[in-house]
Amino acid sequence: MTAPHEAGALSQFAPAKINLALHVVGRRADGYHLLDSLVAFATSGDRITVEPAAEDAFTVSGPYAAGVPLDTGNLILRARDALRSRIGPTAFPIRIHLEKNLPIASGIGGGSSDAAATLKALCALWQSDPPQLDLAALGLSLGADVPMCLHAQPARVTGIGDGITPISTLPDLPAVLVNPGVAVSTPAIFKQLTTSDNPHLAPPPDDSAPQTWLDWLANTRNDLQPPAIAVAPIIADVLRHIANTGASFTRMSGSGATCFGLYATKAQADAAAAQLSLDHPQWYVQATLLKGSDSAS
């Protein structure tokens, strides 16, 4: 075990998680909804930095820092405490800094990805063995999205987030993320669902041609999109504005309110983001790349 004074600061990227498709396919007796989702991870996101300290500390910077809770209700601090309880007294005090670049409560897994990045960084700083700690189970105890954010690669995710099957054929997808500045409550969206027993995803394509994937996505859904629009009608406006930039495909991610457009090239995505930012300067607009199976890390 590295002593606190010998360890340096470690940084871990926390990518935005995008639901390319999200089918609600059932509901358990305990109330948890069962999902069948395809997720990918963006080159845009938050960043976690951890370093030894005389006592535990947590600081935040970035454009969305003001909305981050600083108490133990924060998933980052819950992840720290849960991991420390597994490791024991050798888990020395640490300072955690969050660079918060993603909107709060926006359907792109920001809090869950931050927690996953925290677990990874602290395992390295505290020199603990993640497989022995069973980080996936620990992550699931923190939230349904944390295990897939630990994986942080294209995957089909089933159950309540505990079934993760890697996707080997998803190509890189240039994209633009747009959030109108409206925080959407996930429980409120699920309450608006008219049915929880919808069809599963079809098997994902077995080749990496972008058009094949676009055709496949056209036959999928985000079952949370209609109820989210009912709660926050501006989501429909966002989707329309993205479509007007020439996007090949548009959809809301997760429970919203972040929406995305897919484009044929990075140049097209950059141009679309520039136009959307000009037309709607109050919105979060970010050109990014959804990392495919070959480039994910």
Peptide bond into 257 cis (omega under 30): yes
Residue 211: is its pLDDT beyond 50? yes
Residue 213: is its pLDDT beyond 60? yes
pLDDT at 7: 60
Point out the catalytic residue in the list 36, 114, 145, 172. Answer: 145
Are residues 179 and 148 both part of a single domain? no
- Binding-site residue ranges: 103-113
Residue 296: is its pLDDT beyond 60? no
Count: domains in the chain = 2
Are residues 154 and 14 both part of a single domain? yes
Report the CATH number that the domain containing residue 121 is assigned in CATH. 3.30.230.10
User: pLDDT of 125-170, one tens digit each?
Assistant: 999 888 778 899 999 999 999 999 999 999 999 999 889 999 999 9
| Average pLDDT of the segment spanning 7-29 | 94
> End of a domain among 128, 149, 166?
166
Please state, as a whole number, how many other Cβ atoms lie within 10 Å of the Cβ of residue 209.
11
Active-site annotation holds for 145 = yes
Please state, as a whole number, how many other Cβ atoms lie within 10 Å of the Cβ of residue 137.
10
Are residues 140 and 184 both part of a single domain? no
- Binding-site residue ranges for ATP: 103-113
Are residues 115 and 181 both part of a single domain? no
User: pLDDT of 241-287, one tens digit each?
Assistant: 999 999 999 999 999 999 999 999 999 999 999 999 999 999 999 99
* Residue 211 phi, psi dihedral angles, 5° rounding: -65, -35
SS3 17: strand
Report the CATH number that the domain containing residue 277 is assigned in CATH. 3.30.70.890
Point out the catalytic residue in the list 17, 100, 120, 291. Answer: 17
Say which residue the tokens 């420390």 belong to: 84
Dist CA 111 CA 102 (whole Å):
9
Q: Residue 262 belongs to what H/E stretch?
A: strand 259-262
User: 177 or 71: which carries more pLDDT confidence?
Assistant: 177
**Cβ neighbours of residue 65 closer than 8 Å, sequence gap 6 or more:** 98, 100
DSSP 127: T
pTM: 0.94
Please state, as a whole number, how many other Cβ atoms lie within 10 Å of the Cβ of residue 240.
11
In a domain, 297, yes or no: no
Residue 214: is its pLDDT beyond 90? yes
- Quick one: tokens of 286? 């970010």
Domain that holds residue 178: 173-291
